[in-house]
């Protein structure tokens, strides 16, 4: 598979616009991501619903997948969560007001469940943090600098990694990332501030220091030291 | 010119392996059940293929023939043969499942699925209206012809099951389908019937048990209106949560009617900072007794029990109300609650002197023009206004008999002083001192303070009943409070009697000679010297206390002097701090609870661990937006910084010369210098 799509700028612009133009919603249930879908979603027929989901899929598949990779440290987990979230959208039907926003939330939940299952299958304790150490060899589809980034992200706390994945990798604003995460925009900003500070260090450390796997396994290294 | 490489964009250009066609194919596969699904789902497109509930079908013909197997039961038995009604009393009735015990453990009772095709939402129930036929209705109809041999159910021709597939709101397999299998297995394992009045117990040979209640025995859902329920058990998505709210008191919710018997407001009490009112309506028939959610219901998304209560309340839970006990069920979530003043509570009115030693949270207030209630504005400490009523410490005799004490209220400002009871009338003694804090963050708070003070000055009648306190003036003004449990007991191990500080905190008086290390001066303002640990309270009526130990209220914990005040930030240093962050207010006047006011109010429970403050649960926030000003003031950044700072568990360091009027909070990388104004 060609992981570099070859038309990066076009693709990025395609999803960047709706993400960047979102203002903080008064209601977390309000749409986070603009779509071309009709406003009235209450009585669309099956075909129209499928088309709406498809449009949402085209809009968010790439940034959502990247965010999932950044957070989970696994392309397999990201593939699975992305596909399953949209499959569930199709099954769920037209009551969903904003398919893309729903998919963002659902995909992260699905990825978390998938990680838990994989950890359990591997007979490891689920600590929710050290995903990289537990999923070796799942990044071989990525370019080297992306692997470095994902490995550095694995050294962050779970919440910091989510914030970076959504804002810095996927292009969410802090308020829209907060809506995905079910937290406040201020919290996202605080986590981002800390995460970026730590990443600056991690990404400039010698290679041996950024290798995350066994060093971080079972340790508390994922939390930023104060 | 090439832009410098941003490592955070290293994933740009990468993408998923799958395609849209793969998503569609996945959607058309059966859901992740080990058995196939029958056509179902909400989409009009035939996305789900037909299937069957094989596990249920496989059980056909296996309903147990009565045996004389050993008892083996470990669950309670409502009645047994000979001491209840005859087993035939099961017939002609519809029974609602209230409890499922399997392997000795309570299982969630999942209501019938809306997509089951049996008439919309309904509680899990057993249809026994036709003699000789029993059937559970969950997702599928499970049951069939049976006959009774004594009190044992004997299969006639086996268990029938419809073959419906049910999905939940997320498009996943509805948990009721798994429950269906449990019920089918249960019925196939030999079941005894015990009927006692309106209650039915089914128990199988291995001791699993299902408790049911005749649906006619439940009160109509409209009986919820006007009542306040205290949550005793909270289960969300199968996960047991503490029924205690973030303020440390039980979560409560009150149903208030607005327009008619089927429409009103549910007001979740005990939380701070979140919108806590939700419009609801109820619908009732013999099987569908549910709260119907209205659109656009605001629900805070912080994971605290009172918010979890709200989340369940707006998921159209089914109402099971019997006397003073209420159960709301939705999927694998449930709320069990009790109305302490309900018809079955057996509680009678307490004497007015029961007010002494109590701490109450203001829940509602009314006047002649607002019989449905005036808004209750959270105090500046982040929770509802707090009323403290304590026995005068120098009053001889028992608390129960004494007419004399002191009352104070903290909302924005603290007001309080001496008072006494004349019968059931509360009378102020002289003028009460009032703090002069300006509160601009909560609209109406200052007016509410004045309203409460006016009520207390109007010789209100006092009515105490269990955990309810009502103060009523003769002109229609009325205030209802929830009395905190244990408020009349001094801290364990402390022989001191309770008294109060002027800002409404409960405090314990200790003999001067004890002079414990943790003693602090009572606010406001203190005039101690560095050598004499004695406090005078000049604004108070004749002081009855000398040295006080601040006792934590609902939050619990030991004293350290940090709680009980409103602290102003005079300096802040450390990474990420902005000098403009000076001037923020850290409010600890509600013991065990810390709030910060900047752009938004943020706060939550904090407990001392040694000399450190440790967050206890999630913070609660308002959600206002405050763009940075041209002067470099960024209140939202300030909010975030202080929250992160406190999250890091700062040490509380008293300055040697401050005598309790100043502290430094220190995380090791940042410090905040606080002073009491």
Q: What's the 3-state SS for B599-615? A: CCEEEEEEEEECCEEEE
pLDDT for the residue numbered A169: 93
Please determine, for residue A166, whether its predicted confidence score (pLDDT) is greater than 90. yes
Indicate yes or no: CB of A199 within 8 angstroms of CB of B167: no
Least trusted range by pLDDT, from A116-120, B31-35, B351-355: B31-35
Question: How many residues would you count in chain A?
Answer: 226
In B250-314, beta strands by DSSP E? 252-260, 263-269, 277-284, 289-293
Give the gap in angstroms from C-alpha A203 to the nearest C-alpha of chain B: 8
Please determine, for residue B608, whether its predicted confidence score (pLDDT) is greater than 80. no
**pLDDT tens digits along A179-222:** 888 777 777 887 888 788 888 888 876 554 433 332 232 333 33
pLDDT for the residue numbered A28: 27
Please determine, for residue A23, whether its predicted confidence score (pLDDT) is greater than 60. no
pLDDT for the residue numbered A69: 92
**Is A51 at the interface with chain B, CB within 8 A?**
no
CA angle B460, B464, B465 (to 5 degrees): 150
pLDDT for the residue numbered B9: 86
Least trusted range by pLDDT, from B42-46, B211-215, B578-582: B42-46
Indicate yes or no: CB of B16 within 8 angstroms of CB of A94: no
List chain B residues with CB under 8 Å of A88. 27, 170-172
Question: Region B301-314: what's the mean pLDDT?
Answer: 68
Contacts by residues B629-635 (CB-CB < 8 Å, ≥ 24 positions apart): B631/B580, B632/B578, B632/B580, B633/B580, B634/B578, B634/B580, B635/B598, B635/B599, B635/B600
Give the gap in angstroms from C-alpha A134 to the nearest C-alpha of chain B: 21
User: Please, what is the average pLDDT of chain B?
Assistant: 65
Concatenating the DSSP letter of every residue in A104-137 gives HHHHHHHHHHHHHHHHHHTT----SS-HHHHSTT
Give the gap in angstroms from C-alpha A169 to the nearest C-alpha of chain B: 6
Count of C-beta atoms within a 10 Å radius of residue B343: 10
Please determine, for residue A47, whether its predicted confidence score (pLDDT) is greater than 90. no
Q: Which residue of B has its CA nearest to A193?
A: B576
Question: Region B389-415: what's the mean pLDDT?
Answer: 61
Higher pLDDT, B443 or B569: B569
Question: Region B189-194: what's the mean pLDDT?
Answer: 85
Indicate yes or no: CB of A186 within 8 angstroms of CB of B640: yes
**pLDDT tens digits along B473-494:** 888 898 888 776 543 332 222 2
**Would you state the torsion angle of the CA atoms of residues A96, A98, A101, A107, taken in this order, to the nearest 10 degrees?**
40
Q: What percent of chain B has pLDDT over 90?
A: 2
SS3 A89: helix
pLDDT for the residue numbered B26: 80
Q: Which residue of A has its CA nearest to B638?
A: A186
The structure's pTM equals 0.38
pLDDT for the residue numbered A170: 92
Indicate yes or no: CB of B44 within 8 angstroms of CB of A45: yes
Task: Please state the separation of Cα B272 from the chain's center in Å.
Answer: 11
Q: What percent of chain B has pLDDT over 70?
A: 55
List chain B residues with CB under 8 Å of A27. 296, 298
pLDDT for the residue numbered B180: 86
**Is A199 at the interface with chain B, CB within 8 A?**
yes
**Is A75 at the interface with chain B, CB within 8 A?**
yes
Given a contact cutoff of 8 angstroms between Cβ atoms, the answer to whether A23 and A175 are in contact is: yes
Q: Where are the alpha helices (DSSP H) in chain A?
A: 8-21, 46-72, 75-92, 99-121, 131-134, 144-153, 158-163, 174-181, 185-204, 207-210, 213-216
Which of B84-98, B352-366, B501-515 has maximum average pLDDT? B84-98
Mutate to test the interface with A, among B5, B16, B600 (most CBs of A within 10 A): B16
pLDDT for the residue numbered B348: 55
Q: How far apart are CA B565 and CA B524, in angstroms?
A: 9
* Inter-helix orientation angle B20-28/A46-72, to 10°: 110
pLDDT for the residue numbered B90: 93
| 0.90 surpassed by complex ipTM | no
CA angle A181, A67, A104 (to 5 degrees): 50
pLDDT for the residue numbered A82: 93
Indicate yes or no: CB of B640 within 8 angstroms of CB of A189: yes
Tokens of residue B636, six digits: 């939202």
pLDDT for the residue numbered B132: 87
What residues 205-224 of chain A have any CB closer than 8 A to a CB of chain B? Answer: none
């Amino acid at each position: 598979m060609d992981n570099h799509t070859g038309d990066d700028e076009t693709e990025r612009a395609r999803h960047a616009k709706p993400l960047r133009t979102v203002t903080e919603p008064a209601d977390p249930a309000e749409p986070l991501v603009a779509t071309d879908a009709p406003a009235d979603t209450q009585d669309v027929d099956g075909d129209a619903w499928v088309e709406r989901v498809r449009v949402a899929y085209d809009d968010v598949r790439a940034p959502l997948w990247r965010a999932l990779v950044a957070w989970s440290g696994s392309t397999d987990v990201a593939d699975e969560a992305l596909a399953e979230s949209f499959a569930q959208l199709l099954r769920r039907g037209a009551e969903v007001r904003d398919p893309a926003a729903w998919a963002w939330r659902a995909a992260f939940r699905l990825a978390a469940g998938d990680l838990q299952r994989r950890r359990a299958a591997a007979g490891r304790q689920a600590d929710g943090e050290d995903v990289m150490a537990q999923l070796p060899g799942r990044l071989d589809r990525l370019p080297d600098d992306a692997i470095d980034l994902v490995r550095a992200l694995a050294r962050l706390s779970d919440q910091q990694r989510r914030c970076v994945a959504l804002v810095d990798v996927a292009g969410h604003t802090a308020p829209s990332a907060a809506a995905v995460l079910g937290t406040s925009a201020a919290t996202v900003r605080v986590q981002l501030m800390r995460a970026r500070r730590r990443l600056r260090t991690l990404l400039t450390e010698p290679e041996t220091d950024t290798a995350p796997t066994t060093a971080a396994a079972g340790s508390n290294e994922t939390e930023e030291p104060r | 010119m090439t832009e410098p490489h941003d490592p955070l964009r290293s994933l740009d250009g990468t993408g998923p392996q799958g395609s849209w066609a793969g998503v569609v194919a996945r959607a058309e596969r059966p859901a992740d059940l080990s058995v196939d699904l029958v056509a179902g789902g909400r989409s009009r497109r035939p996305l789900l293929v037909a299937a069957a509930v094989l596990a249920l079908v496989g059980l056909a013909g296996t309903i147990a023939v009565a045996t004389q197997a050993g008892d083996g039961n470990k669950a309670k038995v409502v009645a047994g043969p000979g001491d209840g009604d005859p087993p035939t009393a099961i017939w002609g009735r519809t029974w609602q499942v209230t409890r499922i015990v399997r392997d000795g453990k309570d299982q969630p009772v999942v209501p019938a699925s809306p997509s089951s095709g049996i008439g919309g939402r309904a509680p899990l129930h057993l249809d026994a209206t036709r003699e000789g036929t029993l059937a559970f209705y969950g997702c599928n109809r499970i049951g069939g012809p049976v006959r009774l041999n004594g009190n044992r159910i004997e299969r006639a021709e086996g268990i029938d099951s419809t073959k419906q597939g049910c999905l939940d709101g997320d498009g996943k397999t509805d948990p009721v389908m798994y429950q269906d299998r449990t019920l089918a297995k249960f019925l196939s394992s030999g079941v005894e019937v015990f009927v006692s009045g309106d209650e039915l117990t089914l128990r199988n040979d291995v001791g699993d048990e299902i408790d049911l209640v005749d649906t006619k025995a439940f009160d109509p859902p409209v009986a919820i209106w006007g009542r306040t329920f205290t949550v005793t058990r909270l289960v969300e998505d199968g996960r047991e949560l503490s029924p205690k709210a973030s303020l440390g008191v039980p979560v409560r919710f009150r149903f208030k009617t607005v327009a008619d018997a089927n429409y009103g407001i549910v007001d979740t009490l005990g939380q701070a900072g979140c919108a806590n009112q939700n419009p609801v309506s109820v619908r009732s028939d013999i099987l569908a007794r549910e709260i119907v959610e209205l659109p656009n219901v605001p629900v805070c998304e912080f994971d605290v029990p009172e918010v979890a209560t709200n989340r369940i309340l707006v998921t159209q839970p089914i109402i099971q109300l019997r006397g003073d006990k209420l159960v709301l069920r939705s999927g694998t979530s449930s709320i069990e609650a009790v109305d302490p003043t309900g018809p079955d509570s057996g509680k009678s009115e307490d004497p007015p002197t029961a007010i002494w030693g109590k701490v109450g949270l203001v829940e509602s207030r009314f006047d002649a023009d607002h019989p449905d209630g005036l808004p209750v504005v959270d105090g500046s400490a982040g929770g509802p206004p707090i009323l403290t009523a304590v026995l005068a410490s120098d009053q001889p005799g028992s608390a129960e008999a004494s007419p004399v004490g002191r009352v104070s209220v903290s909302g924005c400002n603290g007001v309080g002083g001496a008072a006494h009871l004349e019968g059931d009338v509360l009378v102020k003694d002289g003028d009460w001192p009032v703090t002069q804090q300006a509160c601009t963050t909560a609209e109406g708070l200052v007016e509410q303070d004045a309203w409460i003070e006016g009520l207390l000055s109007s010789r209100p009648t006092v009515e105490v009943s269990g955990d309810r306190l009502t103060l009523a003036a003769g002109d229609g003004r009325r205030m209802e409070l929830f009395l905190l449990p244990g408020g009349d007991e001094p801290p364990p191990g402390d022989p001191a009697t309770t008294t109060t500080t002027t800002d409404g905190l409960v405090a314990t008086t200790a003999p001067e000679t004890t002079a414990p290390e943790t003693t602090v001066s009572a606010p406001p303002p203190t005039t101690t010297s560095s050598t004499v640990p004695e406090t005078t309270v000049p604004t108070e009526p004749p002081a009855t206390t000398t040295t006080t130990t601040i006792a934590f209220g609902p939050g619990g914990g030991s004293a350290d002097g940090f709680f009980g005040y409103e602290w102003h930030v005079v300096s802040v240093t450390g990474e990420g701090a902005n000098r403009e962050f000076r001037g923020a207010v850290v409010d600890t006047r509600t013991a065990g609870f810390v709030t910060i006011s900047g752009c938004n109010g943020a706060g939550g429970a904090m407990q001392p661990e040694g000399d450190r403050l440790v967050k206890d649960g999630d913070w609660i926030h308002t959600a206002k937006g405050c763009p940075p000003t041209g002067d470099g003031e960024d209140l939202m950044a300030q909010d975030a910084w202080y929250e992160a700072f406190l999250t890091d568990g700062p040490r509380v360091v008293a300055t040697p010369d401050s005598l309790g009027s100043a502290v430094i909070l220190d995380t090791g990388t940042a410090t905040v210098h606080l002073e009491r104004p």
